[in-house]
Structure 1
Amino acid sequence: MKTFSATDAAISGFGLVREHPKAVGAWVLISTIVSAVVAVLTVGLFGPQLEAFADLSQTSSQPDPSETLRMMGGLVPAMLCSSVYSIVFYSVLMAAIYRAVLRPADNRQAYLRFGADELRQAGVSILLVLLFFAAYLGVVLALAIVVGILSAVSKPVGGLAALLLIPAGLGALLYFAVRLSLANVLTFAKGKIDIFGSMALTKGRFWPMFGAYVVATILAIVVYLLLFLIVTMLGGALSGFNMESLGNLMQSQTTSLESLMTPTGILSLAVGGLIAVLTSVTIYTPSAMIYREIATDPESTVDTFA
């Protein structure tokens, strides 16, 4: 069975940035422009609803449930638009990352496309979300039944069972998340949606993959915090380190066009694309690198559901 370096996989996002700086720079620029346009459109279309909901959250320690539900109902179109944008954005970005790792010579348009590969990424991502949601509901239902039965027999036994079974259930979900983590890149490489083919590729490789993903996630958090710190310092310089302005910078500047057009709002829009791209590259590149290293293993073509 072919192996891979978990350390190299974990830091492969930084290697991608080093090897393809122009492409990553193009991703950041396009992401910044598109996210700024989407933010302006969102505020223009749903600004009053967003502002009303923000005011309700800030002015009332215990908001009226019916009023909260009513306002959330008014935000459903905004949430749907945001979900569609997120699916499109990350599908295009993931396909670009996979193209840069698996087909580095295909560097036209900075590896960016909007075609069948991207549509398949959207499809497999939606299917994975639905699959894990169903698995989560199944685990919760099974735990509730078992703990409920044991609690009816003996409350201490039920409490002990809950203490042991809840971490076990979360561990099972995490296990299958790692086992299915190559579904996106496998779909890209094969040119057709293949979710469970990831089970064969990840057989016997759970722990190094898990370690790589944990380290990559930590690195993504560090990147985010460093960029956020830089933005905060720049925002402080622009505002004369006024605490109210800094507080506004730390909050979402998407409730009104006036907030978007302030120096802190513009700064938030300007760095939003940088943060989104760099954190995504850090998180998504390891799976592509792992696939590249192990995909030619003949043993990975059998025992799909092992």
Structure 2
Amino acid sequence: MTRFSASDAALEGFQVIRNHWRVVLGWAGFNLLAIFAVVIVFILVGVTAVTVVGGDPGQIGQTVGGPIVGIATLVVQLMIGTALFRAIFRPEERGFLYLRFGPDELRAVGASLVLGLGVGALALAAVALARAVRPVGSAGPVVVGLAAICVGVWLGLRLGFVLPICVAERRIDFARSWRLTRGQGWALLGMTALCGCLGLLVSVLVWGLFFLLTLAVVGFRELGDLAGPEGFRNHPGLFLLQAIAPFVFGPFAIAIGWTPWAAAYKALTAEAPAA
């Protein structure tokens, strides 16, 4: 059976950032501009809709704007993740920072929708079962919740190669991921846990530095007001930096979290021909 090093795979994201930092930085700029464009388009459409049809702008924003911006954000993140896989599996197809919206991205969106529906179905089943066992004992729902989490993690590990396969093999193949991950559960779990710990450490360091910078500028007294209108009026630079920071660091997080799966896939398919 083909094996792979969980520790080496978990560190591959940092290697990508080190070797292709200009590309990852370009993805950060693309991510920021794309989300900004989505928000601007939504505002324009929302203003037009309110002007023509009428209604409460706040209600329209909550019922329509939230889902639209959420879906657009998901698509943009999938484009960046697919570009990452393309850079790993097909580096000759560089183009514009490996970014495009084509068959690979459509497959990734379709696979993500199926996986999302699966997560939703599992959550609904867990809730229904927890309600059914609630009269039996107070610990019943807790046991059901923990069991659902374990099942979700196990399924996530077994289907973790679905998105890499969308790019590497140009197809959606859940069964292929299931076969490749057979017998690799503990290694994949260790890889994911190590990658998550490293990503969390980086996140703590980055946001810790941002907190210290904010503290040095505004002090303790105004720290709580930075997110409100007063913060924007008094410190517009920090307010905007706080707003755009997640979108700037998002591609770096994708590189850290998604690359290990591509590395594990490459290792496990090095001697295993496509089925």
> Normalising by the residue count of structure 2, what TM-score does the alignment of the two structures yield?
0.83
**RMSD in angstroms over aligned alpha carbons?**
3.0
In the TM superposition, what are the counterparts of 1:93-242 in structure 2 within 5 Å?
A: 93-145=80-132, 147-148=133-134, 151=135, 155=136, 158-239=137-218, 241=219
Residue 160 and residue 243 in structure 1: after superposition, are their counterparts in 2 closer, same or farther (change >3 A)? closer
Distance 1:188 1:78, change over 3 A: same
Aligned partner (choices 259, 262, 268) of residue 294 of structure 1: 268
- Seen in structure 2, the aligned counterparts of structure 1 residues 299 and 207 have a Cα distance that, compared at 3 Å, is farther
Which residue of the partner structure matches residue 224 of structure 2? Answer: 247
Following superposition, the deviation at residue 206 of structure 1 comes to 0.7
SS at match of 1:108: coil
Q: Is the 8 A contact 1:179 1:198 kept in 2?
A: yes
**Cα distance, 1:125 vs structure 2:** 0.8
Q: Distance in 2 between matches of 1:5 and 1:114?
A: 32
Give how far 1:16 is off.
0.7
Q: 1:266 aligns with which of 227, 240, 243?
A: 240
CA contact (8 A) 2:46 2:60 kept: no
Map 1:28-107; keep pairs closer than 5 Å: 28-39=28-39, 74-107=61-94
Unaligned runs of 5+ in 2: 48-56
What is the alpha-carbon distance in structure 1 between the residues aligned to residue 87 and residue 41 of structure 2?
31
Offset of residue 72 of structure 1: 6.3
Task: Determine if contact 1:35/1:269 at 8 Å carries over to the other structure.
Answer: no
Give how far 1:197 is off: 2.3
Q: Which residue of 1 aligns with 2:52?
A: none
Q: Which runs of 5+ in 1 are unaligned?
A: 48-69, 302-306
Contact map agreement 1:185 1:291 (CA 8 A) in 2: yes
* Partner secondary structure for residue 110 of structure 1: coil
Shift of 1:292: 1.0
Residue 185 of structure 1 deviates from its aligned partner by 0.8
Shift of 1:89: 1.0
**CA positional deviation for 1:144:** 3.6
Give 3-state SS (helix, strand or coil) of 2:107's partner: helix
**Cα offset, 1:41, TM superposition:** 5.6
CA deviations over 1:64-114 (Å, ceiling 9, x no partner): xxxxxx966750111122122222211111111101221223323221112
Deviation at 1:300, TM superposition (A): 7.6
| Alignment coverage as a number of residue pairs | 265
